Amino acid sequence: MAVSDMISDPEGYFRNFIPERDDLLKTLEKEAEAEAIPIVGPVVGELLSLMAGVSGARRILELGAATGYSAIYLARGAAPVGGAVVSLENDPAMVRRARQNAEKAGLSDRIDIREGDARENMAAMDAASFDLVFMDIDKEFYLPALPHCRRLLRPGGLMIVDNVGFADAVDFNKALWESDNWRVVNLLTLLPGHSPERDGLTFAVKASR
């Protein structure tokens, strides 16, 4: 069987396919670059929005809001079904900025930024109260947050985890992979604008049992 030729310079080639976005999101990208705030960027942002939309998620939990960039994508994706995002953030300055940006996006009624440690906030939430979880806090907290994510997601719910290619995510990746409670796909991806551009993303569906 003939081996197909691959595109040369795939990084450069796929940089031609960055989704369009509005001025607010572009401003947040510029701020993130200037201040080294690690936001997901426009390709993963669009992916989150699509996943929220196709999954029909009404109740979305985000771990790690920063300036609210990814929360805006998630909330927009969930808009057709009237969905809403609860986003957990432990940096008070970021909480303020995320709330302001949600307001600028006209989404203050759909994005609820909650201040404090993600795990402490999650411990106080009802079981099975979310359809989709997006995990994007400091990577050493991924493993301790995993049991909370499992408890809070409804059976069949989707968890998307950013930056699983980072060394600090290794224990988390192992625990998730070895668990019978999840169906897991790990992707090492080239997604322009992601930080860094060659990084991991995991999609995990909570088992229905």
Interface ranges with ligand SAM (CB under 6 A):
38-40, 64, 66, 69-70, 88-91, 94, 117-118, 136-138, 141
| Residue closer to ligand SAM, measured from CB, 39 or 133 | 39
In angstroms, give the least distance from the CB of 167 to ligand SAM: 15
Is there a contact between 65 and 95 (Cβ–Cβ < 8 Å)? yes
| Residue closer to ligand SAM, measured from CB, 63 or 155 | 63
| Residue closer to ligand SAM, measured from CB, 137 or 146 | 137
In angstroms, give the least distance from the CB of 100 to ligand SAM: 14
d(C-alpha 162, C-alpha 155), whole Å: 21
Q: How many CB atoms lie within 10 A of CB 32?
A: 18
In angstroms, give the least distance from the CB of 187 to ligand SAM: 17
Give the distance from CA 201 to its chain's centroid: 9
Query: Shortest Cβ contact with ligand SAM: which residue?
Result: 64
Pairing between strand 130-135 and 153-162? parallel
| Residue closer to ligand SAM, measured from CB, 22 or 138 | 138
d(C-alpha 152, C-alpha 159), whole Å: 11
- Residue among 39, 43, 44 nearest 28 (CA): 39
In angstroms, give the least distance from the CB of 63 to ligand SAM: 6
